[in-house]
Amino acid sequence: MKNYELEYYNNIKNWDFSKIKFEEENLTNWDMYKILKECTNENSVVLDLGTAGGEKVINEFPKVRKIIGTDFSEEMIKTANENLKKSGKNNIEFKIMDNLNMNTPDNFFDVIVARHTCISAKQIYKTLKKNGKLILRGVDKLDCWQLKRLFGKGQAFNDIKPISQIDYENILDAGFKNVELIPIHIREYYKTKEDLLALLLKTPILDDFSEINVNNNLKKQNIDLDKLDMYIKENTYDKGILLIRRYYGIVAEKK
């Protein structure tokens, strides 16, 4: 599955979401960047897993001694380094790494952040310092569920167990303590059909990413525009076209 995902993400290449116009209503009082700021200081060393184009690391992470952002896609890291050069920041390094085969030193990082990516809880535990923290944010099965049901497919659509539960159990089994799992509910309102379509073309919301089904031809699928028009007709409000997002957050400590 990992190799097919790598090909999928490398083929997308364009990771600029800044031109997509939408409003967000966060219904859950959980902010991973606020938590990150609270548990770091100017001497902290932070690892960001699934860094993609590096925009969040560059723009949202607090000032610390060192940040290493990793991704297993060469195209993503190329984009991240281009963005880093424009930023002028000198405390950030981006490099290619497989989250499931980490080559980081033991007991090294103060905080590890994982955003919308697969993880190995045991390897994260090993590379964290004592009293270090894991902060994780992921996409759960019921994300955009009305849209997925209309299309009859999508990320985690066929999974029996939600990925939030899988991650939670694996983090507990790895030895972490004080593990908190928080469901995150967000409403997003997209200004136009083109804005919503741009999101769907850049993400696997309507693609067959699954914990149980390995698709040997995992490529970006064409979007049925008639079905999309049907969804838009039923879900357009004064603020725009509504997407109901379902994420999850996990905070855990290595004691």
181-199 tens-digit pLDDT: 999 999 999 999 999 999 9
Please give the pLDDT value at position 203.
85
Task: Give the CA distances from residue 72 to residues 98, 101, 103, 158, 222, in Å, rounded to whole numbers and listed in that order.
Answer: 5, 10, 12, 25, 25
Is this structure's pTM higher than 0.85?
yes
Q: What is the mean pLDDT of the chain?
A: 90
Statement: residue 16 has pLDDT above 70: no
Q: Which residues contact 145 (CB under 8 A, 6 or more apart)?
A: 244, 246
Q: Which residues contact 224 (CB under 8 A, 6 or more apart)?
A: 151
Among 74-83, 141-150, 166-175, the minimum mean pLDDT is found in 74-83
CA separation for the pair 184, 193 (Å, rounded) = 25
CA separation for the pair 249, 107 (Å, rounded) = 23
Per DSSP, the three-state class of 23 is strand
Statement: residue 228 has pLDDT above 70: yes
CATH of 2-253, one of 3.40.50.2300, 3.40.50.150, 3.40.50.300, 2.60.120.890: 3.40.50.150
Statement: residue 23 has pLDDT above 90: yes
Q: Which residues contact 223 (CB under 8 A, 6 or more apart)?
A: 197, 200, 201, 206
Please give the pLDDT value at position 1.
44
Q: Say if CB 121 and CB 175 are below 8 A apart.
A: no
pLDDT tens digits, 59-111: 999 999 999 999 988 888 999 999 999 999 999 999 999 999 999 999 999 99
Statement: residue 28 has pLDDT above 70: yes
Statement: residue 245 has pLDDT above 50: yes
Domain residue ranges in the chain: 2-253
Please give the pLDDT value at position 209.
65
Please give the pLDDT value at position 214.
47
Q: How confident is the model at residue 222 (pLDDT cuts 50, 70, 90)?
A: confident
Among 42-46, 210-214, 246-250, 251-255, the minimum mean pLDDT is found in 210-214
* Dihedral angle computed from the Cα positions of residues 36, 41, 45 and 49, in that order, rounded to the nearest 10 degrees: 10
Tell me which of 18 and 2 has the higher pLDDT: 18
- Round to the nearest angstrom and report the end-to-end CA distance of the chain: 33
Statement: residue 50 has pLDDT above 80: yes
Q: How confident is the model at residue 152 (pLDDT cuts 50, 70, 90)?
A: very high
